[in-house]
Each structure stands twice: as C-alpha cells, then as structure tokens.
C-alpha cells in the first residue's frame, strides 16, 4: 500500500488548498470527500427533495454517479448547505464509506497517466473513521470569523451575492451540525497535527503541512 494522507477540518479552513498542493508535490491521487456529500445533497435538491429526509438522502447516496463530482454546481453554496444536512444521516455516511476507502487503498492514476504514489483524502472524518491507519493525519482549522471572511470573499469573487453576517451564521450552523452529529462527528484525531491557519497564509500552511508529512513518511 502506498502513502495515505488524511486531512480533516471544518468548512473554509483551507484544507482543500493544502491537500491539492500536497497531492501535486508528493504524486498522490486526491479525493475531496466533501464533493461526495455535495453530490448527494445536490441530487436530492435536483429531484425536488429535502436533504434532511433520511430516505431520500440514502437513496441518492446509493445511486450516486461519480461523474456528478465534475458538476460545477457542486461548488455553489446551495450544494454546500445540502451536503452539511445529508452528512448527518448515518445511512448516507455508511453508503459512502466504501467508496472512500477503496480510493485510499486503490488510488487511480494521476492526470499524467503515471501511477499514484498513494492517496490524499480531505473531509471531516478521514483520520478518525475512513482511514484511521493513515500514514499522516492533519487537522486544518481556523476561527469561525476568519473562515467566514474567506468564504465571503470567495463568494464575491465568483460573482455571487453575499452578506458577511449571514456567511458567519452559516459557518457556525455547519460547525454545529458537523460536530454534533451522531455518526463520525468532526473532531481532530489524537495523532493528527492540528494546523490553525487563522494567522497563516496559504504558503505558510502548506510548508508546515509538508514538513510534518515528510517527517511521518521518513519515520
């Protein structure tokens, strides 16, 4: 088995950016597991359903087509909110667990066609549930206010209307759902490097993450 890197953390903490750069540097296949939940949430919404309806969400997870992960609509806030709601449903998490573990154990080739040296997965429960035996674990976080500011600016850059106070409220609501759910709640693994990016720029966060991972790989 190759290298497996687990990166967890709350919304807008910067874990996706760190994961992407690490994947490129280390030759790892990358899976944004949040897209799986966004795909499920989007499918429920697209069918006119309610993301909080367990039966509808479970059915959407069972029938999830991996091709939907390329849909740009999954990057919009509606999909993000729906993802946070379906993610609290135990049956949805169980349905998606095998997909994530298979990716970690059998990573697909890189875009270049070369075989991957391993896998890097980012999400909410990778180090605690999906890949508890990962080579290295990171928990990337930041204060709710900093994360809300990042998300607010991101929305404006995409041309979407946004109000900072509402974005902050959404961030806090998502944190409460993620941390309070019964199935695999968001929490830092005990053996993870906790990386608080509140006072860091992207380069600083990446450098600390890479240093830690290299130390684990060579251990």
pLDDT tens figures, 39-73: 999 999 999 999 999 999 999 999 998 888 889 99
Task: Using the predicted structure, report yes or no on whether residue 1 has a pLDDT greater than 80.
Answer: no
Q: What is the dihedral of CA 121, 123, 124, 127, to 10 degrees?
A: 10
CA distances for 13 relative to 7, 139, 175, 212, angstroms: 11, 9, 11, 18
pTM: 0.90
pLDDT digits (tens, 9 = 90+) for 106-143: 999 999 999 999 999 999 999 999 999 999 999 999 99
| Band of residue 74 on the pLDDT scale cut at 50, 70, 90 | very high
Q: What Cα–Cα distance (Å) separates residue 133 from each residue in 10, 49, 105, 128, 166? A: 21, 37, 11, 9, 38
pLDDT score at 158: 87
Domain ranges (residues) in the chain: 3-212
pLDDT digits (tens, 9 = 90+) for 80-107: 889 989 998 999 999 999 899 999 999 9
For residues 97 and 118, what is the distance between their CA atoms, to the nearest angstrom? 18
pLDDT, tens digit (0-9, with 9 covering 90-100), for 140-196: 999 999 999 999 999 899 888 999 999 999 999 989 988 998 888 899 999 999 999
Please give the mean pLDDT across all residues of the chain.
Answer: 94
How remote is the C-alpha of 52 from its chain's centroid? Answer: 20
Q: What CATH homologous superfamily does 3-212 map to?
A: P-loop containing nucleotide triphosphate hydrolases (3.40.50.300)
């Amino acid at each position: 088995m190759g290298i497996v890197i687990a990166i967890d953390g709350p919304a807008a903490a910067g874990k996706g950016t760190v994961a992407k750069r690490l994947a490129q540097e280390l030759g790892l296949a990358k899976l944004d597991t949040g897209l799986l939940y966004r795909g499920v949430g989007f499918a429920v919404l697209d069918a006119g359903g309610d993301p909080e309806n367990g039966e509808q969400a479970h059915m959407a997870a069972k029938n999830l087509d991996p091709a939907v992960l390329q849909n740009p609509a999954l990057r919009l806030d509606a999909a993000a909110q729906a993802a946070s709601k379906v993610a609290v449903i135990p049956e949805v998490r169980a349905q998606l667990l095998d997909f994530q573990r298979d990716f970690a154990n059998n990573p697909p080739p890189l875009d270049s066609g070369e075989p991957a040296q391993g896998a890097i997965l980012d999400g909410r429960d990778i180090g605690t549930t999906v890949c508890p035996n990962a080579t290295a674990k990171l928990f990337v976080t930041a204060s709710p206010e900093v994360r809300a500011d990042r998300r607010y600016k991101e929305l404006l850059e995409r041309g979407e209307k946004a109000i900072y106070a509402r974005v902050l409220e959404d961030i806090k609501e998502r944190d409460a759902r993620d941390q309070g759910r019964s199935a695999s709640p968001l929490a830092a693994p005990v053996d993870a490097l906790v990386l608080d990016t509140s006072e860091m720029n992207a380069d600083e966060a990446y450098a600390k993450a890479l240093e830690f991972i290299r130390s684990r790989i060579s251990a």
